[in-house]
Amino acid sequence: MIRKATRADVFEIHELVRTMGSGMGAGLRVQTQDLTKKIESRSDLWFVLTVKEKIVGICGLSIAQEGVWGYRIEGSFLKKERFFVGGVQMCSYYILPQFRRTSLGGRLAIWPVTYIEKHSREFSGWAFGEMRGLYREDGRCPFWDAIQWPFKSYEEYTQALCEGHEESIVAELPEQIDIEAMPLEAQQIIGKCHPETIPMIRLSERYGFRWSNLIGYSSGAPFLSKTL
């Protein structure tokens, strides 16, 4: 069963978030900050997937009033840019591993997309979502390492995001990156996503979502989007 989240779900959602692996932690942990307020907010919609009354998955929609930061691929360069201002972001998707390859996993993955389709008059501009990127077995991301962040670890970066320092983080990012000057391992994952994300991408493409050479700044993963 998929339903809208309520205040009573907050503790269980936080418990679910603690089970996440690499490449999913930073964004979702930030998104679940002040979760009670967000559930009651008019600009956020949270949904939970339950099995036998236990929450096993979550997903959400959020109005990106100020857009999101990332990089646009232009030839052999990456150029820092803010995009999707005022659009609706598909975010906070996570489901326990044992349900990912089931019909329940597919339903939850596509739920935000179908919700937007059914309630299109409530949204304008863009609908978009950042996919999960590729990480090594040790939990580190080659793209993240190549940018030479002012953090000693991914955990420090996550903490900075949770403390509300994204604007200062973005200010530290290079305005332009020469792709050919990056390590080969980092080059190879630009615009690539985690294999477990591919089914969701295929489903989203059926509803008109496409990749337009925009990537996230932490893992180089693609943004899928469509005009509303």
- Distance from chain centroid for Cα 94: 10
Q: How far apart are CA 44 and CA 190, in angstroms?
A: 29
Query: Can you tell me the mean pLDDT for 134-157?
Result: 77
pLDDT above 70 covers a percentage of the chain that reads: 90
Residue 29 lies in a domain: no
Confidence of residue 124 (pLDDT cuts 50, 70, 90): confident
Residue 57 lies in a domain: no
Residue 41 lies in a domain: no
> Under 8 Å CB-to-CB from 172, ≥6 apart: which residues?
149, 150
Residue 72 lies in a domain: yes
Residue 22 lies in a domain: no
pLDDT at 214 over 90: yes
Q: Which residues span the domain enclosing 117?
A: 63-227
> Under 8 Å CB-to-CB from 134, ≥6 apart: which residues?
23, 141, 142, 189, 192, 193, 194, 219, 221
> Which parts of 96-215 fold into alpha helices (H)?
103-118, 142-146, 154-162, 166-172, 184-187, 198-206
> Which parts of 61-153 fold into alpha helices (H)?
103-118, 142-146
Closest to 48 measured CA to CA, from 102, 111, 107, 5: 5
pLDDT given for residue 1 in this prediction? 92
Closest to 211 measured CA to CA, from 224, 201, 202: 224
Average pLDDT over the chain, rounded to whole?
A: 86
Task: Note the pLDDT tens digit of each residue in 27-50.
Answer: 566 656 677 777 888 788 999 999
Residue with tokens 């973005």: 170
Which residue did the predictor score with more confidence, 165 or 150?
165
Residue 96 lies in a domain: yes
**Taking each helix axis from N to C terminus, what angle separates 198-206 and 103-118, rounded to the nearest 10 degrees?**
30
Residue 111 lies in a domain: yes
pLDDT at 158 over 80: no
pLDDT above 90 covers a percentage of the chain that reads: 45
pLDDT at 161 over 70: yes
Phi, psi of 123, deg, nearest 5 = -125, 160
pLDDT at 102 over 60: yes
Residue 93 lies in a domain: yes
Closest to 217 measured CA to CA, from 85, 69, 105, 40: 69
pLDDT given for residue 86 in this prediction? 94
pLDDT at 208 over 80: yes
Show the CA angle centred on residue 189, arms to residues 69 and 133, nearest 5°: 55
As for how many domains the chain has, the answer is 1
Closest to 163 measured CA to CA, from 27, 18, 30, 15: 30
Strand-pairing partners, residue 79, are: 72, 176
